[in-house]
Amino acid sequence: MNHLSSQDPEIYAAVEQEVHRQNYGLELIASENFVSRSVMQAQGSVFTNKYAEGLPGRRYYGGCEFTDVAEDLARSRAKQLFQCDWVNVQPHSGASANAAVYLSCLKPGDTFLGLDLAHGGHLTHGSPVNFSGIWFQPTYYGVENDGRIDMDRVRDKAKSVHPRLISIGASAYSRDFDYEAFRTIADEVNALLWMDMAHPAGLIAAGVLNDPLPHAHIVTTTTHKTLRGPRGGMLLIGRDFENPFGKVAPKSGRIRKMSELLDSAVFPGMQGGPLVHVIAAKAVAFREALQPEFISYARQVQKNAAVMAASFLSRGYEVVSGGTDNHLILVDLRSRNINGRDAEHALQSAHITVNKNMVPFDDKSPFVTSGIRLGTAAVTTRGFQETDIESVVTLIDRVLSAPTDASVRHKVQTEIHALCEAHPLYDFVTA
């Protein structure tokens, strides 16, 4: 990074400091991970210079012959990875991929049904401050007192509101989904079924969680998180189908496939030129996820999460739903005399990064919260095993048991640095 250090020393210093933070701190935010050098190099490549509106072979700009190679590789590898008919790798983010679903499947004011944000849902699944809640009519299902979704309650809700679209997926739900049951409900009320697998995508690709593609009409995902790629989004269809809304293709008069509607919703519907450098990095990440080592990684992520949940429970913490099936743990702190915001700050000062998070039936605001959300994807990438996870929970407990004691945080910080040095991450910037 000699050019950056000489041309913009202030940004270079920020990069150096961030490398140091990642190297010597514990990253436990469930939506974050660490990409490989190859992914980083592809994302930092000359493809960042190229405009490429349209799809491979059908661009609105010249000079896209090598762009087409990169995007075709990303598409073919994603299809192989998820065993599906169709993908679109152009969405800039999971949110823009989700927006393409709404644009393709709903009209303004249409009703859809999704998981309540306060029970683990996502901002783009109907939050009143998000486009999904502003332009459309969201209705919600939630979790029960045991922290799990009751499919009978979902059916009752669907029959009462008659949604045009039912969404699955969450940002803070630690259990697997019963996609077959969701599809049965969707068919009963004549709704489309959409799964946002942004969080568990890598675990689904590796076969350690249930696969939504045989059941959901449409699937969206981010390409980071457990998939361990660059920050971006993607749309997938297991088996393409004629859209149920009677939309016809121009001139031909034939019923358009859902894949065509989604392609058009991405461009020109939601965004202009794709980020070709990010698409190239997605292709690299998909190739990595097709290797046997990735299955081992995904299994370890799941094992580490189970150990983390059990370790919290053994220390008297309340874990929502009593455990986890995936990479994510949601800890309810209401019995520990500390709120989520203060817990996040205390842990951050000890170089342990988590995020405050609402828990089901929370009595505190989203800016304070009663819980913290943790995930094992990033620490597993750097080589943490079950015994390391137990050590991590011990250190977290020490901080949360004395959150205002600076000496405790300092001692924990020293132990965190030693633990991180035993599992080195990046060494390409001197920090």
Q: Which of 231, 356, 382, 409 is catalytic?
A: 231
The pairing of strands 352-353 and 26-27 is: parallel
Q: Give 255: exposed, middle or buried? Use CB within 10 Å, 0-12, 13-18, 19+.
A: middle
Active site residue 231: yes
Strands 355-357 and 54-55: unpaired
Of 27, 71, 116, 196, the active-site residue reads 196
- Contact predicate 51/63, CB 8 Å: no
Q: Is 196 a catalytic residue?
A: yes
Contact 205/377 with Cβ under 8 angstroms?
no
Amino acid at 10: E
Residue 40 · residue 22 · CB < 8 Å: no
Q: How many whole angstroms separate alpha carbon 355 and alpha carbon 304?
A: 18
> What span, in angstroms and rounded, lies between the C-alpha atoms of 354 and 340?
10
Asked about 175 being catalytic, the answer comes back as no
- 112 within 8 A of 186, measured Cβ to Cβ: no
Query: From the candidates 164, 225, 282, 341, which is the catalytic residue?
Result: 225
For residue 43, give every residue at least 6 positions away whose Cβ sits within 8 Å of its Cβ, in sequence order, or none. Answer: 35, 230, 277, 278, 280, 281
Q: Which of 124, 222, 223, 353 is catalytic?
A: 222
Q: Taking CA 376 as the corner, what is the angle to CA 384 and CA 172, rounded to the nearest 5 degrees?
A: 175
Kind and range of the H or E run holding 140? strand 137-141
Report the alpha-carbon distance of residue 264 to residue 260 in Å, rounded: 6
Is 51 catalytic? The answer is yes
CA distance 137 to 121: 16
Catalytic residue (one of 24, 51, 140, 426): 51
Question: Cis link prior to 230 (omega < 30° from 0)?
Answer: no
Count Cβ atoms within 10 A of the Cβ of residue 326 and give its class: 0-12 exposed, 13-18 middle, 19 or more buried. buried
With beta carbons less than 8 A apart as the criterion, state whether 148 and 154 touch: no
Q: Which among 53, 176, 260, 405 is annotated as catalytic? A: 53
Catalytic residue annotation: 51, 53, 196, 222, 225, 231
